[in-house]
Every structure is written in C-alpha cells, then in structure tokens.
Amino acid sequence: MQATETDTRSGNGTGEPSRIPVVLTINGTERRLEVEPWTTLLDLLRERLDLTGSKKGCDHGQCGACTVLVDDRRVNACLTLAVMLDGASVTTVEGLAQDGQLHPVQDAFVEHDAFQCGYCTPGQICSAVGLLKEGRAQSDDEIRELMSGNLCRCGAYVNIVAAVRQVMDGTGAGR
C-alpha cells in the first residue's frame, strides 16, 4: 500500500520562509511534507496528519505517552524534530493493526484489561512492541524496568506487565 500524498496546507502565519521538504513513511504510506524546523514529530502527527493516537502527556520526554516507532525503534515523539527524520519510517498506534486484525500486543491489552482511562495506552502499546523487537526482557522484573519510560496515572501496571508477558511467551488466548 504505497500511496504518495503531498501535504498542501500552508504556513503558520509567522512569516518564516523556513519550511523544509521531508519525505516520511508514516504507517506504511509515503508522505511528502514541508515542515517548519521547530515542529516536533508529535505535533506533526497530531496537529497536521490527524493521527491523534499518540498522546501529549508532558511534552518533555518524561511520561512516554507519545511513544512511537521510528525505523522500528521506540522513541519519544515529543523530543524528536520532524525535519531530522527525513527518509525515516514512522509507526504509530494507528499503524499496528494489519488487515483489520489487531496487533498481538493490542489483543493482549484488551484481554488483560491493561488500562483504565486509556490515555497512556497508545504509548504503552508502541513501547511494548519496541520492547519485544529488542528482545532484551526475559523476567517480569526486566519487563517492568524496560517499560519504565511509560507512566500510567491509573496504575494499570500489573495488567500491563501481564499483557506484555503473554505476548512474549506466545500464550495469547486469541491467536
């Protein structure tokens, strides 16, 4: 599904001439965009591309609500400048499901009730997908430590660990 879209929305009224062309592949779709250098990846996703799954909790790298995958690595979108990603591939929570099927981590979060308000959840899920790709966590202690960049105000941590554990062990009830 390689569509190419060109963003045609224009300036932000500052009179700055400094929009810079970048090519980003976002959830599998190549997008040619022009961005001001001060636009963070998080603001680009939420404010211009209507991908509001990634959340802005702190905007300072402290909470993990903005976690997305850049070239398959989990990062904080709030501390990433979009212009610096020219050529990169970005996956947000909206891009995890394939062919109408939830990603196994999404299934596991549902199965384990790994959330309450859901605000931290897109970041938790992207972070867990990153953690599984890294393959460093074995024990529950290691899952907790390697998920520590994602805070949950509702305190759903116990069920989040159980959900990640289930995918890691491949013991999901669904598939």
Partner 1 sequence: MNRFSYVRPDAVAAAVRERASDPGARFIAGGTNLLDLMKYDVEAPSRLIDITRLPLRDIQEIDGGLRIGALVPNSDLAYDPRIEERYPLLASAILAGASPQLRNMATTGGNLLQRTRCVYFYDTATPCNKRTPGSGCSAIGGINRQHAILGASEHCIATNPSDMGVALAALRANVRVAGPDGERTIPFSEFHRLPGDEPQRDNNLAADELILSVDLPAEHFAANYTYLKLRERLSYAFALVSVAAALRLEDGKIAEARLALGGVAHKPWRDEEAEELLRGQPAERASFEQAALRILSGARGFGENDFKIELARRAIVRALEQAAAGTPQSQSDKRVQ
Cβ closest to ligand FES, residue 35 vs residue 65: 65
* Beta carbon nearer to ligand FAD, 57 or 172: 57
Structure tokens given for 81: 């400048």
Residue 61 near ligand FAD by CB under 6 A: yes
CB contact at 8 A, 126 and 145: no
Token code pair at residue 136: 């460093």
* Least CB distance to partner 1 at residue 69 (A): 10
**Binding pattern to partner 1, positions 30-69, x when CB under 8 A?**
------xxx-x------------------xxx--x--x--
Least Cβ distance, residue 62 to ligand FAD (angstroms): 4
The number of residues making up the chain comes to 175
Cα angle value 111/115/117 (rounded, 5°): 135
CB count, 10 Å around CB of 84? 10
3-state SS, 35-68, equals ECCCCEHHHHHHHHCCCCCCCCCCCCCCCCCCEE
User: What is the distance between the alpha carbons of residues 166 and 105, in angstroms, rounded to a whole number?
Assistant: 9
Question: Smallest distance, Å, CB 84 to partner 1?
Answer: 5
**CB of 82: closest distance to partner 1 in angstroms?**
11
Q: Which does 146 bind (CB under 5 to 8 A by kind): ligand FAD, ligand FES, partner 1, none?
A: partner 1
Largest CA distance in the chain: 56
Binding mask 75-114 for ligand FES (x = CB under 6 A): -x-x------------------------------------
The CA distance from 155 to 174, in Å, is 25
> Where along the sequence are the contacts to partner 1 (CB under 8 A)?
14, 16, 18, 20, 36-38, 40, 59-61, 64, 67, 73-76, 79-81, 83-84, 86, 127, 130-131, 134, 136, 139, 141-142, 144-150
